[in-house]
Amino acid sequence: MLCGGWRRSRRSPEEPRVSAQVAAPLAFLPSPASSDSSTKSPGLRALKKMGLTEDEDVQAMLRGSRLLKIRSRTWHKERLYRLQEDGLSVWFQRRIPRAASQHIFFVQHIEAVREGHQSEGLRRFGGAFAPARCLTIAFKGRRKNLDLAAPTAEEAQRWVRGLAKLRARLDAMSQRERLDHWIHSYLHRADSDQDSKMSFKEIKSLLRMVNVDMNDMYAYRLFKECDHSNNERLEGAEIEAFLRRLLKRPELEEIFRRYSGEDRVLSASELLEFLEDQGEDGTTLACAQQLIQTYELNETAKQHELMTLDGFMMYLLSPEGAALNVAHTCVFQDMGQPLAHYFISSSHNTYLTDSQIGGTSSTEAYVRAFAQGCRCVELDCWEGPGGEPVIYHGHTLTSKILFRDVIHAVRDHAFTNHCGLEQQAVMARHLRSILGDMLVTQALDSQNPEELPSPEQLKGRVLVKGKKLPAARNEDGRILSDREEEEEEEEEAEEVLEASEQRRRAKQISPELSALAVYCCATRLRTLEPRPGPSQSCKVGSLSERKARKFTREAGTSFVRHNTQQLTRVYPLGLRMNSANYNPQEMWNSGCQLVALNFQTPGYEMDLNTGRFLINGQCGYVLKPAYLRQLNTTFDPECPGPPRTTLTVQVLTAQQLPKLNAEKPNSIVDPLVRVEIHGVPEDCAHKETDYVLNNGFNPCWEQTLQFQLRAPELVLVRFVVEDYDTTSPNDFVGQFTLPLNSLKQGYRHIHLLSKDGASLSPATLFVHIRIQNS
């Protein structure tokens, strides 16, 4: 099924001045004078800055709770869960003690907190516990849900409310606040005797924790410069002074000086000059003045419409200073065109959480796919016991889930069918009764029933993709089952299917289910017409990745023209038993809309999918370039023409890269940056910087990488940071992928993501981008 609903100059002499004291650059952290007694406990200081130290729910979480962890009907284990003083992580007890990093989870990695029996696990195994006592913590990425039962309903509510407050406060934090919070949490951990004083040994430990191997002599010099009491201990204001020095950004200070001049503050006109050099479209003096009011920290400077170094850093670290065009983070494209004119985020075998052979099927897999912006999911339906259809990967050892449970969990479907007529009728009843008015059961435009509707028309609605009975065929008529082109793969793999009786029944379609395939009638796409024929826009062709590549290679333009009118779904080869993915960019190049991937498998393929649908409010629909929407287009992805665009990326620095092995204090990353271009074959390329030895805290490269592009509208740019290794493959550190058309020019921060798409805040890359069109 398809879910149509989309979610989501210089200052003049007359200008006023501030005093020299205010004009001096402010610290990126609070100045010593602003330090308070909370500095004595950096963890509680962090919570105080979040405004939650007095909150009763947070206080209860800090004390900890003994909660039952529920895994099955018989596996209920009591475990202690306690919020850490940093307010960012929760420590939990394990039966067998493990490394410290495996006893915590981070608040920023939580996708949702659900009350009651709102997870598959608690619906199946939580019946002995009142819903009011239960909660589920769902995580981003592949981490399993945490199903819990509290001793009382009130204690469960304290965790539900407390986590909601922490998540809301974390989401509202600026990058500056996140950095402050982050460094103080490490400071708390490095203070081994918890005396709120830092010896040089503890400072060295802090440096290793934050991924920097600083020369002992240099580190000690910094230490002594801040040790005003000369007692070989830093405390209070001395600690803050050390952190201020540690977090200095010389490259930002140089840019700031270049525009501010000797007085070390930016006027609105000087800030406007910087914005114009950045390539900001339509910027005005009023825009510059508004940025000062938004990001400047010093009230006196703000009153005089001046920006200090601190305000400048705040701006560059904000979403407005990021590489992703902030205007593209909301729905900004025309959503009124036919469905065939959009790339649509799509999942393959959505029910699986692991491999295609013995993995677990789960309704939670659908929830996770939707959380990642997926708009088209698959239900592989088979005959089940008791007259109820089930979903699983047929002829394998994957577990089974009820069709009706999935319909309760999803609002968007693309399903395949191996059920007989009787259970197909049950499926149709479940679809109608559970989805109600959300389900499209007839053409939305009675005057043009054969034309595909737009995402705007389908907002909040659900489409069924399935086989359609011919108008003259009765309910006993046999037609091919909706399992895409499985026969193609079965011949290649010489697979043997189950009993012939089930195969015979699976080749029948019930009238009830057929009636629900209004706009997405599944069909085989065997050949392509050299010229556009009569419109058959309601037919959806399904192709294996191999067949789609063959069409692109042998009939590129014809395939593109076909996809201007009709939907095409591409799915992974059945031989990918470990749920590996193919490169979706190859299919997007030809205009294929429904490029289905295994969402449960992280990797560069899913990074590309996330990057493609990062824009337009992450609604799961992205308008294709004009040459992929025009019926008589001559575009061929194999022959895109000469270069039209030059992309120049200057990789400058990185900040606070994550430590890959937290259990090895002396393990410091040697980072390098690779910039990858994904587009038509002639545009695909990658270039990388040298590596920086033993510095994941503030490595500096200042290297320039340049790319020539022929079809820039299709290009995705992937920024990857790796830990260089001389003897084995490099280790992944972080990445960020986005469309070239949403990449802003000038000095930009790139906020890195983990392998499974979680934020690595405050880890960033700092780059300069230039895009030239010929």
Q: Which residues are catalytic?
A: 348, 393
End-to-end CA distance of the chain: 42
Pairing of strands 462-463, 306-307: unpaired
Assigned token pair, 346 = 């799509």
Please classify residue 436 by burial: count the beta carbons closer than 10 Å to its beta carbon, then call 0-12 exposed, 13-18 middle and 19+ buried. Answer: exposed
- Strand-pairing partners, residue 138, are 112
Sign of CA pseudo-dihedral 149, 150, 154, 159: negative
Give dist(CA 131, CA 149) in Å, integer: 9
**How far apart are alpha carbons 67 and 651 in whole angstroms?**
47
Main-chain phi, psi angles of 305, to 5 degrees = 55, 50
DSSP 159: H
CA 338 → CA 104, 523, 536, 565, 621, distances in Å? Answer: 47, 19, 13, 8, 11
305: left (phi over 0), alpha (psi -120 to 50) or beta: left
Angle formed at CA 306 by CA 303 and CA 308, multiple of 5 degrees: 120
Instruction: Calculate the CA dihedral of residues 772, 720, 657, 327 and round it to 10 degrees.
Output: 50
- For residue 520, what are the β-bridge partners? 465
Which residue has 């435009």 as its token pair? 445
DSSP string, 38-107: GGGSHHHHHHHHTT-TT-HHHHHHHH-EEEEEESSSS-EEEEEEEE-TTSSEEEE--SS---GGGGEEEG
Give DSSP secondary structure letters for 398-430. ---EEHHHHHHH-S----EEE--HHHHHHHHHH
Pairing of strands 146-149, 671-678: unpaired
Quote the CA–CA distance of 122 and 134 in Å, as a whole number.
Answer: 8
Which one-letter amino acid corresponds to residue 128? A
Is-contact 644 662, C-beta < 8 A? no
The structure tokens listed for 283 are 């910027």
